[in-house]
Structures are given as C-alpha cells and as structure tokens.
Amino acid sequence: MNAKRTKVPLYIIATFLVGLKIYIAYRFMFSMEIENPMQELILFVNPFVSVFLVFAISVWFKKQSRQMKFIRYTAFILTFILFANLVFYRSFNDFITIPTLFQGSNMADLGSSILTLIQPYDILLFVDVILIWYLSKKKEDVLSVGYQRSGKVFALAMSFVLLAGNFFLAEMERPQLFTRGFDREYLVKNIGLFNFHIYDIVMQSKTESQRVFADGNELPEIQNYIDENVKSDEKSDLHGIAEDRNVIFISAESIQSFVINNEVNGEEVTPFLNSLTEDEDTYYFENFYEQTGQGNTSDSEFLVENSLYPLSRGAVFFTHGGNEYNGLPEILGQEGYHTSVMHANNKSFWNREGMYNSLGLDKFYGEEAYEVSEENSIGWGLKDKPFFEQSMKYLQSQEEPFYTKFITLTNHFPFNLDEEDSSIEPFDSNSNTLNNYFPTVRYTDEAIEDFFNQLKESDLYEDSIFVIMGDHIGISANHNKAMSQYLDKEEITPYDQVQLQRVPFFLHIPGHGEGEVKSEVTGQIDVKPTLLNLLGVEAENDLYFGNDMFSDDRKGYIALRNGDFISDEYISTSGVCYDRQTGEPIEAEEEEANANNESGSTNACAPISEQVDKELGYSDDLIYGDLLRFMDFEEEE
C-alpha cells in the first residue's frame, strides 16, 4: 500500500523563494550598510514577513485555479517591483516613491541611461518566478490547495503577528522610525521594500489632504520661527554692490567639488574653473553643499529660486508645480528685470513649463529654440559648447537688466562623450561611470571658458555678475570603491559621503577686485537671499530658510534633505556625529536624568538635529499646504 503523499502549500514555497531572493538582493545588489547584528536579523526577517502577508491571501480563494493564478502573478509583480527599485537605486541610490512615478514623462528622455543600469545577471531575479509558475502548472498534485477555515484564519493571523514582530524589532533598532520618512533606506532595511511602498502610499494620501484642509493659520508659527532663527537685520558689506547688473547663472550639471584643483592622469580636470578660484573678481565657496532630493536638477532650481527645501519624496516641480510661490524670478521681475532660463531640453521634462509659470519666469528657451543635430548632440541632447554659442543671440537680444539661467547637459550620467570632444583620458577603475566622468567634466569646463570669452567680446560682460554652481552630485555611493581609489582612501565613510555632496559655487563680479576663497559652510538654500543682497533688492515679507552667504549673522548649519546636516563644527549623518574638520566621530556624553526623569546619552549634534527636523517640517508644510497662497508679499511690514 502506497504511503499518502504529503502536500505542501504553494504559498509557503513562494514565500520561501521570493523572500530569500529579496534578502539576497538586499545584501548583494543594493549597497545598504549593516551596522550591527540586530540590523542583520531585521534585514533577513522582513522580506519573508512582507511576502508571507501577501501570499497568505491566496488561501481564501476556493478554486485551486484562482489560488495558483494569484500566487503566480503576485510573484511576478513583487519581483518586477524589486527589479524596478534596483534599477532606480543604481542611478539615484534611492527607492521609488509615489511622487517619482508622476515623473514618468521623464522616462522617454532617459534612453541609454536606463539601459546602462540594467545588468545581464538581473534575469536571475526571475528564476524563482519561473519555478513557481512551473510548480503551479505541472505539479498541482503535490500542492496543498484545500484549507479549513481554521487554517485560513491561522495563516492570516500569523501574517499579522509576524508583521507586528517585525515592526517591534524595527522600533527597537530605530526609535521613531516612522517619523523620519525621508530616510528611505532605513525604512526599507527595517520594514522591507513592500511595506515601505505601502507606507509611502499612506504618506502620499496624507500629504495630498494637507492642501485641502490648510487655511493659513499655520503661517504665524512658521513666520515666527524664520524671524527668530533664520532672518537677520544685518546687511553684509556687499549689499547692493551689483545693483542693476545682469545676473548670468550657470547651473553646471553634476559637477562636484572634488574635481576642482584636482587632476586625473596628471592633467587638470577643470583648468578654467581652477583659475577662477584665484581670480581677484571671484568668490569661491569651497564648503558649498547641494541639498537636493529625488528631483535632482529640478530640486536645485527649486532651492535657488525659493530658498525652500525640496520634498523628501518626489520632485516639487512635478507634485506641486501649480502652487503659489514668491520665487526669485518674480521678485526680480517686480524690480524691472527680464527673467529667463535657457536649457536645450523639452519643456515637459521635470514639468518645467508649468513650474516656471508659478515662479513668474518671463521666458523659457527650450530645445525648440536650438538647432540640434546628430553632430552637435550626445546623450541627453545638445552639447554644451554649441549650447552656449547658440544662446548668445538670445542673451544679447534681452532687455537689461536681466536674470538668465543656463542649464548644461553634457556632464550627465552616463557621461558619454565623442572622441573628438575629449581632451583628457578617462580614469582607470572598476567604474566606467567614474572613469568617463572626468572627460565630460573637462568638456563642460572648456564650454564655460568659451562662453566667458564670448561674453567678454560682447558688451554684456562688464555689466553682469556671474554665478556658476554644480546642481547635484554626479557620482553616487554605488561607485564608492572606485571613488576611494581616486581619492586615495581606504574606503568612503559616511562622513566622506557627506563631504562629496560639496559642489562648486563661484560668484564672479567683473571689476570687483576683492574676491577670495570662502570657507564658510553654505548651500543652495542660501543662493536666493545672497543674490537679493548683492542686487540690493529687499524682500522683507518673504519666507525663506537660507542666509546671505556674506553675512556674519548666519544660523551656522546646512540641512540636507535626508535630515543630515553640516555645521561650522560638526557633520551629522547615519546617526553619528562627526567633527567636521577631522572626520572623527564624537562620542556621546552620558547625562544625568533630566527634569522629566529621562536618562540616556546625547551628543553635540543633537540640538542642531532638532532644529533641522523642525526646519524641514516647516518647509514641507509650506509646500504641501500651498500656504504661500495666503501670503501678501507686497504688504509692507
């Protein structure tokens, strides 16, 4: 007599296969750091918890065919979500959020950039999906499909117990985890990728409702904070020094400060920008940080024009492009300036057309304004040299004074460059991205030099001031091994990673003669108040979180979008407080129980961290609630 064959529930098999795959992907395909055994345990547990909850739903289907179909398609969908996040992570070192999905119109322009992020071994992610499909189609006789009601209830109850256990461990490891939703890597490490996406959906619903229920009563608290902690009545020595001059602003795509005054293969990477650091008419800020989030270039524009922080999820240009703002173009427009942006890309990318209207911009010269061909374009579009050349006629035709921003394209991931345009050799490392970065940076440097020479031949140079700013990093943490090789370091630490967020900021004032290298900690949030100060324009009734870079009365720190910060003395990142000068961690000091009978440890970064969280929160409130619509910016104080 044959023994009765034991049948195995397919949802258990699927949970094991998909959960194990996700854990392997976490450890070896995403560059997430594990700091202690508890984090390792949580990282191992959360994939199984997440997928068990989903696959356990199948037991409630009465028909076997529906059970099998649900498990098959669920396995595929979960794997596709994992794959999409992996590709996104390779480019942005981040995870997909609902707002980034609204940026799908950008995908048509990504082209080869996406293809370079897909690896041949990614197909292995779908091996278990194929196995699950095979079992559900060919091995139905060995699979358990009939369940008593008690078994169904048990599966559902067990899934919630496991989920609660996961959240309990996560809260032990990172208290108040869910109050720091901008730290997406911590969320994924602690609650899992799929639970993170559910959390993201909930947060999206919450933020969407903020505008509906906002009535302006939130403004006095924010205004008081800004008046007490940000604004200064003190005018710097450079106040009004550029009054009535044109402003020519160059947003230099992906250029980071580590290339300035540095070499590759014995060649200067940026000879022209290097020369500006020693120019008597130029101020160079060597500790200037980019503060962008998922919106990259559009976030840098948002920071510069508004002195508000970008959002922790998605790009403001997409999600809140129709809000009311009091942007730099609108303020200067009221002072008689003609305002424009020149960028050889389509007007729908980053929803620029809609956002520029909200900022009060007079004119956008997009790709339709330029002659673009196969010969003069590469990667994302028109090369920087012909871009500046073709822009000159538009610049010279504008009424003065004007505020015009140029956004370059060539130094963009994946950093392609035609051989005839390359004047230095690539770096030699295990990262083609970093290797090719140096020739494209040099090309942009040459393009900016040519543009300066063209301006000097025109009648615009002496009547203008110039800003050159790196918009965001170009080399993500995914290339840290190669970066450590270039910088001659054993490894790139979290402290180093923050320092790599420094981007160049040059302020060139022809005829000034008092330029110097400035070491103050500054960031993109400071650009708006700085330019208004230089131009002698008052905006007293405005709401902003930056400081004039030349003022002695500054708040003393720069907040990054993920809650990290850089102050005059410290760098706070990944939960560690570092000495900014030495890069050494500062040990937490034990304190006596306070008045509330709370005991524990604190560190030197704690007070500023509280300010940073408050500041980011207030900025989010302004954007999510569209609170500036309740302001009268022309009202006299």
Residue 139, strand partner residues = none
Q: What's the gap between Cα 155 and its chain centre?
A: 40
> Measured between alpha carbons, how far is 493 from 484 in angstroms, rounded to an integer?
9
> Measured between alpha carbons, how far is 25 from 228 in angstroms, rounded to an integer?
47
- Under a CB-based contact definition with an 8 Å cutoff, are residues 235 and 536 in contact? no
> Measured between alpha carbons, how far is 501 from 88 in angstroms, rounded to an integer?
20
- Under a CB-based contact definition with an 8 Å cutoff, are residues 612 and 565 in contact? yes
- Under a CB-based contact definition with an 8 Å cutoff, are residues 480 and 486 in contact? no
**Local structure of residue 97 (DSSP, 8 states):** -
- Under a CB-based contact definition with an 8 Å cutoff, are residues 116 and 435 in contact? no
Please count the helices (runs of H) and the strands (runs of E) in the chain.
Answer: 22, 22
Phi, psi of 3 (to 5 degrees): -70, 145
User: Positive or negative, the Cα torsion across 135, 136, 141, 144?
Assistant: positive
**Local structure of residue 313 (DSSP, 8 states):** S
> Measured between alpha carbons, how far is 286 from 356 in angstroms, rounded to an integer?
30
User: Positive or negative, the Cα torsion across 191, 604, 231, 225?
Assistant: positive
User: How would you classify residue 371: left for phi > 0, otherwise alpha for psi between -120 and 50, otherwise beta?
Assistant: beta
Strands 565-567 and 570-573: antiparallel
User: Angle of helix 432-457 relative to helix 384-397, nearest 10 degrees?
Assistant: 30
297 catalytic residue (yes or no): yes
Residues ≥6 apart with Cβ < 8 Å to 105: 348, 349, 351
Q: Which of 100, 297, 339, 530 is catalytic?
A: 297
Q: Calculate ∠ Cα 185-187-192, nearest 5°.
A: 100
- Under a CB-based contact definition with an 8 Å cutoff, are residues 233 and 552 in contact? no
Length of the chain in terms of residues written: 637
Burial 66-104 (b: 16+ CB within 10 A, else e): ebbebbbebbeebbeebbebbbbbbbbbbbbbbbbeebe
Active site residues: 297
